[in-house]
Structure 1
Amino acid sequence: MQVFCILCILLYLPQTWSDDLYKHCVYWIGSKGFSLPGVIERIVLNDIPVYYYDSNMRSKMPRPKWLNSSVGKEQWNTIHDLSDYNIHAVTIALQSATQQFNLTGSLTDRNIYQGAGCCIVYPDGTYQASLNHAFNGKEFLSFDVFRRTYVAAVPQAVPYKHLRERDLVYIDKVVHYYSKTCLERLNVLKDAPEVNNTKGPEVRIIEKQKAGSIEVTCHVTGFYPRSVQVYWLGPDLQSVDKEVSDILPNEDGTYQTRKSVIVPEEDVGKHTYSCVVLHSAVTHNITRVWAGEKNSGFVAWICLAVTVLAAGTSAGFVIWRHCCTQGSVV
């Protein structure tokens, strides 16, 4: 579990994409000085793991059962072929970055190189692809598909940029993949049964007594896909969460999250407090009311607010369909 948590952190590169889309991403890691394999490659289709390999494994993982179609088998073979190339490329990238930062005296004892290549299709049909690299958690390099060139984010990335761009055949392959092939593969396997499963959330209220107040938590679990919105409705509520609540994975592939608020002790029993959950697997919102004396006027306000809230966000809650593509290139 510790290794899994570390990987969740290290595999992350900042992204600003919406959850209501089809997304296929390939993540790479090259590291030295960490208690991690030297090289890691992970492929996901939205939230579904498609492929995983690290340099500590004796062999590559077997093909998932849901890729047993002829097209799926063909793509799986491509994933394996490109994986060998990606492992080599990440190793070279780590070596280059390490050498350049060592020359400037800014190298640390532990270094990590990350890559993320993603293809996405938005609900309106528009398409976007990107390839981004990072070194020690900071932007290092990206690829501009239209200009057919790598863009160095820091001076230390320039030597590696030139190394990659000298291979014109390779540049052609990268451009073709991110501008055409990836979209084609997304369309081919988007209807795979394993990819289109959805599950509605289970919602329960938990309360915890505190000095002068009560912390009330709305625990939402067992939902898939990952996108969910949780709101507390009620007067004089103080949110416990300073930022957006984390959405965490369950062992069965579903997700869970929670949102807590503080209710002043003097307000307990005077008002009704409602947790409203919106998820694409359910047609209407799920509302759980925390115990307290009911106030008819306030209840009417709650109902109106929930109606407006649901109406305002229903267009954004498109049920996820997921798409697959073959392996990508670093």
Structure 2
Amino acid sequence: MSTLNLLLILMMYCINLSICLSTVIHSLQYFYTASSGLSTFPEFVAVGMVDGVQFEYYDSNIQRTVFNQDWMHQVTCDDPDYLERKNASFLVAQQSSKAFIGNAKKLFNQTGGIHVYQEMFGCEWDDEDDTTDGYEQHGYDGEDFIALDLKTLTWVAPVPQAVPTKQRWDQDRAQNEHKKNYYTKECVDLLKKHLAYGKSILQRTERPRVSLLQRSPSSPVVCHATGFYPNRVVVFWERDGYELHEQVDPGEVLPNHDGTFQVSDWGRYECVVQLKGIEDISTTLDPAHIRTNWGKTGVRGDGGGEMETSLFSSFEVLLVLLLLLLLLLLESLRTRRGTVSRSNSPEGLTPDLHLLILPVPFLESDWLSSYT
């Protein structure tokens, strides 16, 4: 039996990872953070995000709105009063947030110290069935304080200290109706406008780059997909064409430094990456496709290259020792040596399914070198 075949039979695994684009739900979100007792941090900070991309910023020190995306300047060209309205809106939010902290300190019977108020609100729009949704949540000192139930137009108080606020806000039906109109109509219209202005960035599709990585001869092969956009993906496992559910954790999508995303998992067989708008990328278990500490190949989806012909040569001695150990421990192996399959398929082995959480930003070479 050749050393290469033994290595393939005993040690090699590959993942069958499929990534498919889920329903596209766009979002417009605002995050407010107000604090007291922190001299080195602005008393109030506001951040606006569309589809997870920050597009505007305001804080109490600069007292003005700053655009984080070039396409936002087109907004002011078409709507010259936009910045003035945003500045006024953020100033009102700054004042009300400060008042909220003062009221919360009374409710919690607090006097001094550092305290933080947070508000998160926004809307979502499904561009396939045109459904919408909205939300508004308030937090105090890192805990949920009160949230709007948009269906019943009532407020939910998870802590006793928030009950007086809930009772007062529940009675203001006119304000709650106004919020419903904003989150289901006005906010959605604004979201659609931002999507149109930032179409080249927010609605682009970037093809995944897929690599098979192995940090040592005895470790599983990792299938790593990176550089894709958008980030709405679902990760699931397949073996022999069937999806696995038991003892399988979904992969986590992580951001890259360039605004794209990455995902990876452990497993075996074939790695399939699906992204709406492009053909499937399929990478089969093949030594010539694996990037390792002792030999490298190209990345499927970005040109690729050939693996070094001496992929396993540096491990000949280790494998010989392993063979001797197996022969000593498994006497029956001697009688079966002539019948052991020389196939490259790791058939008959049952792999453990693990989740690999990778650092950000991530490069294949960094991952490999960190384990040398």
TM over 0.5: yes
**Pair 1:287-2:282 in alignment:** yes
- For residues 108 and 171 of structure 1, the distance between their equivalents in structure 2, rounded to whole angstroms, comes to 33
Deviations 1:49-94 (A, max 9, x none): 1212234546431474313144455544433321112222222223
Give the equivalent residue in structure 1 for 2:121. Answer: 117
* Aligned counterpart for 1:205 among listed residues 206, 212, 231: 212
Give the equivalent residue in structure 2 for 1:245. Answer: 251
Give the equivalent residue in structure 2 for 1:78. Answer: 85
**Pair 1:99-2:106 in alignment:** yes
Change (3 A) 1:48 1:208: same
Give the equivalent residue in structure 2 for 1:43. Answer: 48
Give the equivalent residue in structure 2 for 1:260. Answer: 266
**Pair 1:29-2:33 in alignment:** yes
Deviations 1:278-316 (A, max 9, x none): 223x43322222335545999xxxxxxxxxxxxxxxxxx
Residue type matched to 1:23 in 2?
A: S
Query: Could you say which structure has the larger radius of gyration?
Result: 2
Give the equivalent residue in structure 2 for 1:277. Answer: 273
TM-score between both structures, scaled by the size of structure 2: 0.59
Give the equivalent residue in structure 2 for 1:140. Answer: 145
Alignment of 1:304-323 (within 5 A): none
Residue type matched to 1:144 in 2?
A: D
Deviations 1:152-208 (A, max 9, x none): 222211343456567777556434322321123234443233332221211111112
Change (3 A) 1:224 1:28: same
Check the 8 A contact 2:137/2:148 in 1, yes or no.
yes
Check the 8 A contact 1:228/1:277 in 2, yes or no.
no
- For residues 151 and 113 of structure 1, the distance between their equivalents in structure 2, rounded to whole angstroms, comes to 17
How much does 1:249 deviate? Answer: 2.0
Number of residue pairs the alignment of both structures matches: 262
TM-score between both structures, scaled by the size of structure 1: 0.65
**Secondary structure of the structure 2 residue equivalent to 1:43:** strand
Unaligned runs of 5+ in 1: 1-17, 262-271, 299-330
Change (3 A) 1:176 1:286: same
Residue type matched to 2:286 in 1?
A: A
Give the equivalent residue in structure 2 for 1:8. Answer: none
How much does 1:102 deviate? Answer: 3.4
Check the 8 A contact 2:123/2:187 in 1, yes or no.
yes
Give the equivalent residue in structure 2 for 1:229. Answer: 234
Give the equivalent residue in structure 2 for 1:268. Answer: none
Change (3 A) 1:253 1:149: same
Q: Identity rate of aligned residues, in percent?
A: 25
- For residues 60 and 297 of structure 1, the distance between their equivalents in structure 2, rounded to whole angstroms, comes to 60
* Aligned counterpart for 2:203 among listed residues 192, 196, 200: 196
How much does 1:258 deviate? Answer: 2.1
Check the 8 A contact 1:27/1:42 in 2, yes or no.
yes
Unaligned runs of 5+ in 2: 1-21, 288-342, 349-372
How much does 1:233 deviate? Answer: 4.2
Give the equivalent residue in structure 2 for 1:152. Answer: 157
Give the equivalent residue in structure 2 for 1:216. Answer: 221
- For residues 35 and 250 of structure 2, the distance between their equivalents in structure 1, rounded to whole angstroms, comes to 30
How much does 1:228 deviate? Answer: 2.3
